[in-house]
Homo-oligomer: A and B are copies of this chain.
Amino acid sequence: QLAELVVQFFQPKPQLLQGLTVTITAGPTREAIDPVRYISNHSSGKMGFALAQAAAELGAKVQLIAGPVSLPTPAGVQRIDVQSADQMHQAALELAVSSQIFIGCAAVADYKVAQVAAQKLKKTADDNLSLQLVKNPDIIAAVAALLQNRPFTVGFAAETQDVASYAKQKLQKKKLDLICANDVSVPGQGFNAEQNALTAYWADGEQPFALQDKSQLAEQLISLIYKRYSQ
Binding site for B on A (CB under 8 A): 33-43, 70, 107, 109-111, 114, 119-121, 123, 127-135, 158-161, 184-185, 191
Contact = CB atoms under 8 A, between A and B. Distances in A.
Contacts of A121: 110
Given A133-B130, A134-B128, A184-B35, A119 B160 contact: yes
Contacts of A129: 111, 132-135
**How would you classify the secondary structure of chain A's contact residues: helix, strand, loop or mixed?**
loop
B130 A37 contact: no
A39 B38 contact: yes
B133 A36 contact: no
B128 A35 contact: no
Given A37-B39, A38-B40, A184-B35, A128 B123 contact: no
A120 B70 contact: no
A35 B185 contact: yes
Contact of A37 (B41, B123, B134): B41
21 contacts: A35-B185, A36-B107, A36-B158, A36-B160, A37-B41, A37-B109, A38-B39, A38-B42, A40-B40, A110-B121, A110-B123, A111-B129, A114-B128, A119-B161, A120-B161, A127-B134, A127-B135, A128-B134, A129-B133, A131-B131, A131-B133
A70 to B, nearest CB: 6
A40 to B, nearest CB: 6
